[in-house]
Structure 1
């Protein structure tokens, strides 16, 4: 038992496990301790010596499964309400303002059986932040004023997702499950489900739910910061001990997820967007007790394999599917849905039963030949490599993850539990495979043209349920696909990962550049800080022909998709072993990114380049992927209006950025013959920047240099492509677009055509200081919509400040009016900023800008970004921090007033439904 003194009161915490008892990665430099407070709350304390930010997370075993049937969505609503005032801090904006003012962020989510609340903040203010945060859990106000206002936010969130395909499918899933199982409840809530009941106000319902489920013994808390473990223990005791100890109720689910008539069925669902999807679901028992063996994960690994001889390869070569993913699906205390999720081609829609028959054939292969110890051990090697050489997760991600893990795993496994694979338990594997049969299966087919006979009442989805026919059952038994086999041993997992030595003549501080060809600049850094046997290789191709026209850009995107499709099967074993690659067009041409174990990454890069020299494309795959791209692009108008507006803003301002609708039209006009004939012309002019970073030596790059020169020549350097954004004063200051989504949205843009570090600093500070005020006024007070905020957006280092709102409650004209009122009030807002608040914002931003890289990945991204932005001394972030440090409050306010007074440097982008009457 540990005892600490705080304000004259002795606080105690029982140590459950210390750092040496917790299984963690050899690369993890943090120190851990798990304690239990007197009230029964278990706490994970994480000491990170050099952290500038502290994080906290609290998970509680209460989610939407716990909602009363008469108040569905109550757990979610309570999550919202906890942020809106406590006895000590009754101001509804107090917590949010404090976190924002001290360089932090916060969020929460409500799941099926758990909810999670978390924040990050400047570590110097962790104590004060915890004082505000932990009071949510023992003295929330549930003020009537904010109940009424926040109900509108819940309704806005509900309306926001009414067009969301996943949300709509999820609700159909609920409607076709056992109505006595808590999964069937509506999780989000809206004005129809959250309301006063006779003799039971909504306020009282919130209080009752809180009293029933929110207690210390159902909670797990994580505190992470630079404070010592003893100091963190004291913080936990000081701020969490006031939470009441126990709750009366014991939670148990004794109903099955599905009734017998809800299995052995085919479910047809009409989506809003054009989609062709087949989901095969097998109902399994709960898997919480299997985390140490991960049997379903192993089976999913075999079913989802995409290398030679795979089920995916067979179905793709039949031109029936484009994608296959195995193993996902809802999971809980007494249930697990095991899904095989496939995106179908047009041909595949007509061969659904044959696809499922091939799936059953592959399941039988696994049952007979796949449960070999060597296969399981090979999978474990890959997982253990990922664990032993994992990159340190961000504190803001780690804290909420550990809070949930402590609810699920043994205390010593809170880090290792996601990776632990003790061995293949054959009886469990056979039990799960025996569940994979037609009478225990649900087939979900998603397509706009399927006949339906039912309407789900909450989201309005059209669907139909049919029992499987005898003919289907016979088809499932008949298929014996040729060429399908289980994976061979993976050659990429045969060699252990080992660090390479660093010679004295290698660059170890900042990347060094070497002109290896007239049009090839090679940057290299053998990293000595993150001693991991990993590498990142970025290849940036400047290709003037690619970005010259929308037609060329669309063709290049299709070329990249086809190359990835070809390379996926060839390189899938490498993917499993931790080698990953991506290929995509961008404003200057194209980028290839390869990452993974350093002894293979340059070799894989060379393999990819060799394949790109003279690819042979299959005409049917070209048709399938072309159709998929065109469908995705044409559905842009159905996306969230804000997403469409952000995309439209990029098209308006950024050179060589094209509308997805225009790109779809260009692909429509493109023939296979023209594609094959003209694709080589895209690469006739080229210049390349290569950046190799991590545990990689310069000599390992020689084959990559040779492959690049062979393919592209690189004999003549090219003139730089001008990427300066368009000035707003050359564009209309108001642009309105129509979408096929019922919500309205507005983005207001403030631009400066000065790209100095001083100007960027002003914009960053403005965003930091205005964001909580904008949110409080337009979201919390006015309840204009669920999506409300601001963001700083540099375009080629030219600063832009964006204000955005999406609403289902008011139209875009009302949003614009509210935004203009906020901007008109800017002199008052600026005048209210105190010297103390300004200094804190400056300090917070400079800390963020100068914070050390947390991982090899984040450093690679930062250095590559600097290279592409011509910041070749890698100092821009430091120079911005210095500019902020020397900026006076008077200069900041003067420049801010100028920016808001300069109407020519502003733009309003609005989106409204196509049938909206703008003349109202």
Structure 2
């Protein structure tokens, strides 16, 4: 394709010093603004298009139309009328695609092999100027929208969101139902009007001047500009200009109110939402973000700390909430304890006291500069995102930021805007607030018909409004200067005899260290993993439940102490797994080893307040007991792990076991927890052995260490053995509290052999589009249909799954079996046409360089955490894929699909009430 010389380019785009890409922006003659991203290191190319048309633009009598249009664009264009042509092409060339519909924008994006980019763009671009909107597919896809709606009908966030919409201004487009279903899109199933309105919506809103496009890949900027012009010039321009909404989000009687919402699952939540004006014009100063930083601070003496120490709340976050062109809900979201439920007046009073404290004492330049420094460090040393992930975000950024701030807009903090910040704080008053209480026992008088949520909206009493308007003295104090925050320096020098793989160091009996000072990602960042193999954490459901509780309590106890480190860019997590308990510290390398040592020192003799133990003990039980209301497929994946992995336990078993654990029982278990431990450390990034010294000394001094505990954990269970023992039938048929049915077929490799791994990895990529097109697109079995490759302790598994609101699990199993039978029959023909490209894609994917330090750390930790450490497995699979013929793999795939002794079903059916 010839380069375009006719398009003026803007290249003055601010980017991070760690960003190796080249950027430019052009505007086509039709008004389409395009960002071009040249990434020489990328093996794939990506396109993303965002259009200023979302559910706000739906006609009131056809709510969900924008979302329905998004679905229909994938089902054929005049140039490529076959409904699966686009999806098939993307999958055949190693790619992925997706889309979403929001309030004021919709987004479409894909990635594929760079050599196939032109062909993919030819198919993709036609979405936006020649969709067919085939009548037959309109009828079918309405059923898919209905299935998606039913799938999410019990989703707590959607239920709350719809109540929020119902109680907002009917004249504001936020009031509309965004998803759509059979009732809102059709006239009792008749799609005649829908087809007409679909054409009208597309013609009105899908115009080039309302769109932004990002093309990214290894192609030069000239080539990308030429592609933009060649494929997107036919998109019609001259659409209506993008305008902000004018109607207020809330009417006067919808503010100064209390909104009660009854959830399905057990919940105790208080959300205080303040109605603020739109904030797009303030992105350069981020005044709401600065206020959220001060209100949401969790260090000692903070609003969170004071309420938490009094056992009134478990969590607090500030600054979230819906936003749009003329509105911003500033939310303070709190999870309440039982005591907190009875003290909401006091909690809300303290929130207002803290807001007034910030207004009076918090607007100091040094506080803003601290936030500026933290954000500047994050930008300067940001870890490059995959180009495929970056493109969709940039397409949306182009609608909100100046061209220069295409990337930097998310980080720009140009100085404290005192006037704007005072205006925002002045609007955070009781009369401008909506206080939402989410609990099963709140008083309700109304019923939201779409999702079936019971709620009540009522004006807050005057005495409460008056009390909160003149609150008592604040318990909280404002944050002191952050001792962890400073300008970061260059990374440590590399050793002369460096390595590109982690090296093993045996520190002492029972403690090993894998270490790699990374030679490629030269930023002052590090990841430190500390894996404790602990028999007392895993030997039974009771022990594992205690380990989960202990991890939650430790995080709860340490969060306040470590919050300044968190703000400065040092993060930690503590979690149990089937070996024991793992600590992960990540972020800037300066202080990471010291923080790890400090946290591990707390492991040995932690003391937890009895009130915190009771509250988290109760919360975990409630979460586990309510799990049956989760999406069936989520439950099936969780149950699969339980069936295949030793020392993993069903949530229902954990809930039952934890219910029998008293505080004294827990204290006795805790005393024994570290009596026998094996420790495996992994340190990666800008960290050398000298810097790790205090951590290594601390582990040896504080823990009683044993050897070879990890070797005693049994291997992955085989599907064949589970079937023979009857365990698969006994434990693999779940009854849930969800209305959908689901089926999950497990195809397990016979061994850990590299050929088995390569075959199932290849089969997953091969079978995925055929399985989706047949069972989702043609048979319309359900909205969620797919496949995935899942190795467990390096034993490979292929999973095929369907979730349906229309068909029982037995039918889903039968349809999957029929599909596999036909797939085997067509294997020779399909494999001859598809497998060559798929093999090449997988080889490239397996050899694809790590994008950033975080992804490399995750990959290496996956290798290190296994009992048999092997860093060459991916390369070995790539070599095997290269060295064998297509016919060899067709035969291996046939063997895998025909070896039904290694196949097993897990199913979910609604529990009879």
Cα deviation for residue 391 of structure 1 reads: 0.2
For 1:199 and 1:534, the matched residues in 2 are separated by 56
Q: Is the 8 A contact 1:748 1:908 kept in 2?
A: yes
1:546 shift after superposition: 1.1
Asked whether the equivalents of residues 354 and 476 of structure 1 are also in contact (C-alpha less than 8 Å), the reply is: no
Which residue does the alignment assign to 1:188? 179
Q: Distance in 1 between matches of 2:896 and 2:706?
A: 46
**Partners of 1:661 and 1:718 in 2: how far apart?**
28
Matched residue, 1:260: 252
Instruction: Name the structure 1 match of 2:492.
Output: 500
The alpha-carbon distance between structure 1 residues 726 and 872, as it changes in their structure 2 partners (threshold 3 A), is closer
2:301 to 309, 317, 332: 309
Q: In the alignment, is the contact (CA less than 8 A) between 2:847 and 2:875 conserved in 1?
A: yes
Cα deviation code 1:80-137 (max 9, x no counterpart): 0000001111110011111111111000000000000000101111111111111100
Change (3 A) 1:482 1:199: closer
Cα pair 1:363 1:433 within 8 Å, conserved? yes
- How many residue pairs match? The answer is 906
State the shift of 1:395 in Å: 1.6
Task: Report how far residue 247 of structure 1 moved.
Answer: 1.2
Identify the match of residue 343 of structure 1 among 331, 335, 341: 335
Q: CA deviation at 1:474?
A: 4.1
For residues 282-328 of structure 1, the C-alpha deviation after alignment (integer angstroms, 9 at most, x for no partner) is 00001010000000000001110000100001111111110101000
Matches within 5 A, 1:402-421: 402-421=394-413
Deviation digits for residues 813-843 of structure 1 (CA, Å, limit 9, x no counterpart): 2211211110221222312224342110100
CA distance in 2, matches of 1:228, 1:443: 53
Match of residue 599, structure 1, among 590, 602, 611: 590
Give the alignment partner of residue 889 of structure 2, picking from 885, 892, 902: 892
2:89 is the alignment partner of 1:92: no
Superposed CA offset, 1:790-828 (max 9, x none): 111111111111110111122212211211110221222
Please tell me whether the aligned partners of residues 580 and 594 of structure 1 are also in contact (alpha carbons under 8 angstroms).
Answer: yes
* Cα deviation, residue 530, structure 1: 0.6
How far 1:624 moved relative to its partner? 1.1
Structure 1 residues 451 and 307 mapped into 2: Cα distance closer, same or farther (>3 Å)?
same
Secondary structure of 1:879's aligned partner: helix
Are 1:829 and 2:826 an aligned pair? Answer: yes
Q: What do the CA deviations read for 1:340-375 (whole angstroms, capped 9, x no partner)?
A: 000111111111111000000000110000000100
Give the whole-Å Cα distance in 1 for the aligned partners of 2:870 and 2:789. 24
Contact 1:353 1:475 in 2 (8 A): no
Match of 1:695 in 2: 686
Q: CA–CA distance in 1 between the matches of 2:710 and 2:458?
A: 63
Matches within 5 A, 1:53-202: 53-195=44-186, 201-202=193-194
Partner of 2:345: 353
Q: Which residue pairs with 1:428 in the alignment?
A: 420
Q: Which residue of 1 aligns with 2:273?
A: 281
Q: Counterpart in 2 of 1:739?
A: 736
Structure 2 CA distance for partners of 1:163 and 1:362, relative to 1, 3 Å: same
Structure 1 residue 508: Cα displacement: 3.0
Matches within 5 A, 1:478-493: 479-480=471-472, 483-493=475-485
Q: Distance in 2 between matches of 1:717 and 1:764?
A: 31
Q: CA deviation at 1:447?
A: 0.6
Gaps of 5+ in 1: none
* Residue 394 (structure 1) aligns with: 386
| Residue aligning to 1:17 | 10
| DSSP-derived class of the 1:178 partner | coil
Q: CA RMSD, aligned part only?
A: 1.6
The answer on whether the counterparts of 1:106 and 1:120 sit within 8 Å (CA) in structure 2 is yes
2:874 pairs with 1:912:
no
CA contact (8 A) 1:12 1:37 kept: no
Conserved 8 A contact 1:321-1:345: yes
Shift of 1:416: 0.3
Report the 3-state secondary structure (helix = DSSP H, G, I; strand = E; otherwise coil) of the residue aligned with 2:582. strand
**TM-score normalised according to structure 2 size:** 0.97
**Normalised TM-score (structure 1):** 0.97
Moved more, 449-458 or 728-737: 728-737
Find the residue that maps to 2:513 and give its secondary structure.
strand
| Distance in 2 between residues matched to 1:225 and 1:78, nearest whole Å | 28
The one-character-per-residue Cα deviations of 1:480-537 (angstroms, maximum 9, x if unpaired) are 35652000000111353432122324x3321111111111111111112110000110
Kindly indicate whether the alpha-carbon contact (under 8 Å) linking 1:527 and 1:693 is maintained by their aligned counterparts in 2: yes
Partner of 2:782: 785
Query: Helix, strand or coil: the match of 2:673?
Result: helix
Q: How does 1:428-507 map to 2 (within 5 A)?
A: 428-477=420-469, 479-480=471-472, 483-505=475-497, 507=498
* Unaligned stretches of 5+ residues in structure 2: none
Instruction: Measure the CA separation in 2 of the matches of 1:199 and 1:542.
Output: 60
Q: Distance in 2 between matches of 1:380 and 1:399?
A: 26
1:631 aligns to 2:628 (yes or no): no
- Whether the 8 Å contact between 2:209 and 2:241 is mirrored in structure 1 is no
